[in-house]
Amino acid sequence: MEIVYNNPYRIIGIYSGSSERELQKQKSLLNAYMDANKELHFDCDFPFLPNITRTQEIVEIALSNLQLNQKKLIYSLFWFVKGSYIDEQAFIYLQDGDVYKAEDIWEKVTSNYQKLQQNIISFNNLSTLELALACSNNNVNIDLYCKALKNKLELIQSDSFDKFVTITTDNNYHPDQNEIFSLFMDEIISFIESSETILGDNFIDFISKIFETFSHISSEAYNDIKSKLMSIALYPIEIEIKDTQKKRKLNPREGIKYALNLYEKTKNDWTKLNYVFSDDLNFNNTSDNLAIEIMQCAIDCFNDYCNNPYYANSMNDEFSIGNSIIKLLDYSSYYAKNRLTLQRIEENKKIINEWLEETNVRIHIYPVKSDIDYILIKLNQFQYNFNIDTEINKGITYLKKNIIKEINCLWLDCRLKMQTIQDKLGNNDNIVINLNSNVINLVMGYLIDYLNYVCSLYQSQVEFGTSIIDQSTLIYAHQIA
C-alpha cells in the first residue's frame, strides 16, 4: 500500500509523534549521509516492508508533506506512532522481523473498548501493521485488509481521537472529524482502484467486503462511500457494455457472439454486486443497460439474418438462430431492472417465437423467394403507378401511360417467374395458388376497370354526340379483357 510503504515518516526514518527537534535532527542526518553517498538505514525500516529508495528529491518532498498538521495527521493514520513503552517493545520485535509478537502485544492492550481508549496509539499501530501485512508480496489479503480498515474507522470515530490528534500534531490543531474521514477515505479509494489488476477475479469480492466494513458508519458518509465504491465496481462492466455496443454497430451479424461474450465477462461480477447492491440506483441503471445491450445484440443479429435469407441452409439453421436469440433474451431478462425494459424483452421474445413457428413455411419458399420477391415488387410498382383517386385522373393516367401496354408488360414479367415457382413447388402448392391468384386478380381487375372506363366514354359520346372514342377501340378493349 503506497501510503504505508512510501509514507513521508518512513522516508525520513522516524515515527509519527516525534518532536520537531527530532525531525530537524533527522533531516540533518539525512543530508549528511546523502552528501557522502552513504547508504541509509533506520530503526523503522522494518524487514517486512519493501525496500525503499531515498534521494534528495524524495526526502525534500517527504519533508514538505509534513509541514501542515492536516497532512501530518493523515500520514500518521498510515504509519507507526510513538507511544508508551508497550509500543517501544513492539517496535523492537518489528525490527527483529517478529511481526507476530508485536501484533500479539498490541492486540492484548486493545482487546476491549476501555483498553482501546487508553491505548489509542497502540490501536493505530496495530491497524497500520495489519494494513502493511495485508498488502505485502504484490497481493492483497482481503480479510486482513478489511479488519485493519475497520480498526482505522473505529479509531477515527473513537472518543480518544482528539488524544491521537494531539500526539501526532500539536495542541492547537482541532480538525473536523468528517473532513479527516473524507481524506482518509480518499487514500483507501485510491488503493482500491489500483488493486484491480492485482486482485483480478477477486476484485468485486474486495469491494463488497469493504462496503460491508462501512455498514456501521453515519448515513451521510455511508452514502458517499457507497457511491464511490459503486463507481469503481461498475466501471469494468460499463466498459464492456460500451465495447460491445461499438462492435455490434460495426457488425450486427456477429451480435450473438458479442452478446455471449458480454454475458460471460460480466456475469460473475454482476452476481456478486447484485447480492450486495441490489437496491442501489446506480447498480440498477447499469444492470438495465447491460440487459438492453444484450437484447439489442440479439435483435440486430436477428434483423440482419432476416434481411439476408441466403444465410440459411436448412431448417436446423433457422431453429439454431431463433433459439440462440431466445437464449440471449432470457439472459437480458435476468439482468433487466426496469419494467419497460422487461416489457420490451417479452415483446421481442413473442416475435421470435412466432418466427420460429413459421420456420417450415420459410424453408419451403427459400428456393423461390427471390422469384416471389420479384413478383411482389412488380405488383407494388404497378399499383403505385396506377393509384388513381378520381375519374378525371383515371382518364388522364390511362391515356398517358397506355395502361394496356403496361398490363401486358406486367403479365409477361410475372408469367415466367410464376412458371418457375410452380415448377419447383408444384401446381397444388398453396403458395403457388395464392400467388397466381393475386397476379391474375390484379391484372383482371385493372383490365375490367379499363373496359368499364372505355364503355363509359363510348356511352357518353353516343348520348352527347361527342367523338372521344370510336367503335373499333371499344371492340379492342373487349378483346384485350
Sequence-distant (≥ 6) Cβ neighbours of residue 20 within 8 angstroms:
none
Comparing 75-79, 153-157, 285-289, 348-352, the range with the smallest average pLDDT is 153-157
| pLDDT higher than threshold 50 for residue 468 | no
> Over the stretch 90-121, which tens digit does the pLDDT of each residue have?
999 999 999 999 999 999 998 887 887 889 99
Residue 93 confidence (pLDDT): 95
Angle among Cα 435, 437, 438 to the nearest 5 degrees reads: 65
Residue 474 confidence (pLDDT): 47
Contact predicate 371/420, CB 8 Å:
yes
Phi, psi of 81 (to 5 degrees): -115, 140
DSSP string, 42-57: -TT--TTSPP----HH
| 263-272: long-range pairs with CB below 8 Å, 24+ | 263/294, 263/328, 263/331, 265/240, 266/236, 266/237, 266/240, 266/290, 268/201, 268/204, 269/203, 269/204, 269/233, 269/236, 269/237, 270/237, 270/335, 272/204, 272/205, 272/208
DSSP state of 183: H
Please name the residue ranges forming H helices in 386-470: 391-401, 403-425, 430-464
Mean confidence (pLDDT) of the chain: 84
For residue 395, the SS3 value is helix
| pLDDT higher than threshold 60 for residue 401 | no
Amino acid, single-letter form, for residue 470? D
Q: How far out from the chain centre does Cα 419 lie?
A: 54
Q: Which residues pair with 81 in a beta bridge?
A: 16
Residue 133 confidence (pLDDT): 93
- In percent, how much of the chain has pLDDT > 70? 88
Of 38, 76, 293, whose CA–CA distance to 164 is shortest? Answer: 76
Q: Is 0.95 topped by the overall pTM?
A: no
DSSP state of 314: S
Of 174, 128, 172, whose CA–CA distance to 151 is shortest? Answer: 128
Residue 388 confidence (pLDDT): 59
Contact predicate 203/145, CB 8 Å:
no
Residue 179 confidence (pLDDT): 87
Helix (H) or strand (E) holding 382: helix 369-385
| pLDDT higher than threshold 90 for residue 207 | no
| pLDDT higher than threshold 80 for residue 469 | no
> Over the stretch 55-69, which tens digit does the pLDDT of each residue have?
888 989 999 999 999
| pLDDT higher than threshold 60 for residue 399 | no
**pLDDT band (50, 70, 90) for residue 288:** very high
- Highest average pLDDT, of 63-77, 191-205, 297-311, comes from 63-77
**pLDDT band (50, 70, 90) for residue 391:** low
Angle among Cα 79, 84, 85 to the nearest 5 degrees reads: 110
Mean pLDDT, range 43-57, rounded to an integer: 89
- In percent, how much of the chain has pLDDT > 90? 38
Residue 91 confidence (pLDDT): 94
Amino acid, single-letter form, for residue 179? E
Residue 315 confidence (pLDDT): 55
Contact predicate 355/378, CB 8 Å:
no
Contact predicate 250/197, CB 8 Å:
no
CA distances from 89 to 45, 122, 129 (A): 16, 11, 14
d(CA 165, CA 74): 10
Please name the residue ranges forming H helices in 109-218: 113-118, 120-134, 142-156, 161-168, 177-194, 196-199, 203-213
The C-alpha cell of 373 is what?
420477391
DSSP string, 333-390: HHH--SHHHHHHHHHHHHHHHHHHHTHHHHHHHGGGHHHHHHHHHHHHHHHHHT---S
H helix and E strand count, the chain = 25, 0
Angle between helices 161-168 and 120-134 (to 10 degrees): 80
Residue 311 confidence (pLDDT): 52
- Highest average pLDDT, of 39-43, 254-258, 422-426, comes from 254-258
The C-alpha cell of 465 is what?
354526340
Comparing 45-59, 260-274, 442-456, the range with the smallest average pLDDT is 442-456
d(CA 243, CA 262): 9
**pLDDT band (50, 70, 90) for residue 15:** very high
Contact predicate 274/287, CB 8 Å:
yes
> Over the stretch 167-194, which tens digit does the pLDDT of each residue have?
999 888 889 888 888 899 889 988 988 8
